[in-house]
Amino acid sequence: MIKVLFFAQTREQIGVDSVMVDVDNITADDLREHLCAKGNEWAQALQTGKLLVAINQDMVSMVSMVKTGDEVAFFPPVTGG
């Protein structure tokens, strides 16, 4: 199982802060696509190019591999002022 966390606007759009997913040895982008299949809100919140991803609290690219036991976080880019 992989624990997937959602933050900020992404969490607000889908209405949950985390889910457990039973997949293994896929890329972060494949995981994102798997979650998009949950419905329109998920697909909109997890659109390609609108997210950053961290695996086990390390920022990574969407082509990074995810395996059982990992914690994956999806969140929008942070801007400040």
Q: Which single residue is written with the structure tokens 């998009």?
A: 36
DSSP 48: T
- Write out the two tokens for 13: 């759009």
Check residue 80 and give its pLDDT.
Answer: 59
Domains by residue range for the chain, with CATH: 2-75 (3.10.20.30)
pLDDT at 36 exceeding the cut of 70: yes
pTM of the model: 0.92
Taking only the tens place, the pLDDT of each residue in 8-27 is: 999 999 999 999 999 989 99
Confidence band for 49, pLDDT divided at 50, 70 and 90: confident
Phi, psi for 77 (deg, rounded to 5): -60, 145
Contacts of 37 (CB under 8 A, 6+ apart): 43
Mean pLDDT over residues 14-42, rounded?
96
C-alpha span between 81 and 79 (Å, rounded): 7
C-alpha span between 4 and 73 (Å, rounded): 6
pLDDT at 37 exceeding the cut of 70: yes
